[in-house]
Amino acid sequence: MSLVLNTGIGIRWSRLDGSDFDEPILRLAGEYEWTLSNSATFSQELAIEYGTDSNIYRSDTGITTQVLENLSLRFSLRLKHQTEVPAGRDETDTETAVTFVMNF
Amino acid sequence: MKSFFRPVLCVLLATLGSSTLAQQSELVRELEVGALFTSGNTDEHSLNFAGNISGPKIIGNTDSLSTVSMHRVMMKLKVSAFMVSAVLTTNSLKTVSFLLVYLMKMTDSVVSIASLTSRFHTVGDFCRHAMI
């Protein structure tokens, strides 16, 4: 079981046709990992990026099961939510992945 | 979510470090292949490439966190028909980290983030030992 927290400041550059803008951001992030068993691991990452114009929230949830010595099966769900987006774009993006992971 | 989930290839490339470097720092290299389902702005036809190179998570005596040193280098590269993004993260327990997120959309917008981060709290095997 492990927990890692990160914080920092930065700047976000956004480039859009005819309306470029920059903004300072504050980033808070956490990474949590839980060993469920000898062969299974649960992980959760959360990140918040506070900006003057928009906020971005990120979440990455995954569970990994080792099936062979150097081969694992991973299921992960990644979410990204941005409070202010250009017209015509979605505020939330999701990525769901089912993958095999080979360590070498 | 979109009405049709189209599986696409998801590949994690971890060949960014030389073998010498990998041996010296015990880097972890992974290759990941599978199906990816997307919704939102991410194009479902996209191809995703990402690399993950991680150094030893815990070095030293875990009973004394002050002596633990952690070095982690992670680089992700994501490529699609409409998006190119790269994430480079370098973390060290006692040093300042640097995070660079670069997102580029070929169509209408480019978003990039550069952030200077500092790792201020690490609980590794300490919790596991505590639970036992």
Q: What is the CA radius of gyration of chain A?
A: 17
> Which of B117, B126, B131 is the best mutation test for A, with the most CBs of A within 10 A?
B117
B118's tokens: 């500092």
Q: What is the pLDDT of residues A62-96, one digit of tens each?
A: 999 999 888 999 898 989 898 887 777 788 888 88
Residue A47 pairs in a beta bridge with A29, A58
pLDDT at residue A9 above 60? yes
Range in A20-29, B2-11, B123-132 the model is least confident about? B123-132
Q: What is the pLDDT of residues B11-63, one digit of tens each?
A: 333 333 333 334 444 455 666 677 767 777 655 444 444 444 444 443 333 33
Helix %, strand %, coil % of chain B (to 5) = 15, 50, 35
Q: What is the pTM of this model?
A: 0.58
pLDDT of residue B131: 32
Whether residue B117 lies within 8 A of chain A, CB to CB, comes out as: yes
pLDDT of residue A62: 94
Looking at this predicted complex, what is its ipTM? 0.79
> Which of A6, A17, A68 is the best mutation test for B, with the most CBs of B within 10 A?
A6
3-state secondary structure of A99: strand
